[in-house]
Structure 1
């Protein structure tokens, strides 16, 4: 059985695939409604991650948006994943996604760096004892 896809993997695939789309937005660009929200293709992402399309959609809509979306002091909502932004369907708030991914990469490094150093030190100690 395949292990579940992590939030970090999903966000990384989205970030890597749609970064050029995000930065290529121009003032008179009519390809999407706004620079901040980039429409995504859940089916493409699911194929790239080798999971069902509903897994990608569900993780973005039911989990990640609830976890990282927030309310502004004026009461307006900021969504990580929006069902619709103008005419665009299934859009991610790209700067927020980028910030969340950076935080997750930092947390991943913070966990695995000491672990790898400990394993290396243990290996050196083991071979030193022989």
Structure 2
């Protein structure tokens, strides 16, 4: 079993809950506030072919620890909130959707930057190999 990366988890959440986030504009009775969107961890885990607790753990213990911060006014900005009893999933798990999209955009940018550097290195290697081959045989 290959474990999903942070970016894969956040991309799945984005795709699965983008419409939920946008629906608040039309009907603000669907949840308490626009920012926090309930996340269906079971659905995300099934799409990633891992256990629900793996997704929960990555969000709650890893990504929360990495991205939560405290403002100057001592208010806390959280990425992921466990609103109820985790075992019973009574109130559910919620993600700060705008903050998550910002984090996801940064991860995607870093991935593109890494991929571009790798492509350039491969092209450079190919050009060098062709140059050496031409100089040896001509």
Q: Which has the higher contact order (CA 8 A, sep 6+)?
A: 1
Number of positions where the alignment pairs a residue of Structure 1 with one of Structure 2: 128
Matched residue SS, 2:83: strand
What's 2:103 paired with? 100
Partner Cα separation in structure 2 for residue 102 and residue 27 of structure 1:
25
Q: Which runs of 5+ in 1 are unaligned?
A: none
Structure 1 residue 114 corresponds to structure 2 residue 105: no
Q: Which runs of 5+ in 2 are unaligned?
A: 85-89
What's 1:74 paired with? 73
Matched residue SS, 2:32: coil
Partner Cα separation in structure 2 for residue 82 and residue 106 of structure 1:
26
* Residue range with higher mean Cα deviation, 33-42 or 18-27: 18-27
* Deviating 4+ runs (over 4 angstroms): none
* Residue range with higher mean Cα deviation, 16-25 or 42-51: 16-25
Partner Cα separation in structure 2 for residue 80 and residue 3 of structure 1:
25
What is the TM-score normalised by the length of structure 2?
Answer: 0.84
What is the alpha-carbon root mean square deviation over aligned residues? 1.8
Alignment map for 1:43-58 (pairs within 5 Å): 43-58=42-57
Structure 1 position 19, deviation (Å)? 1.1
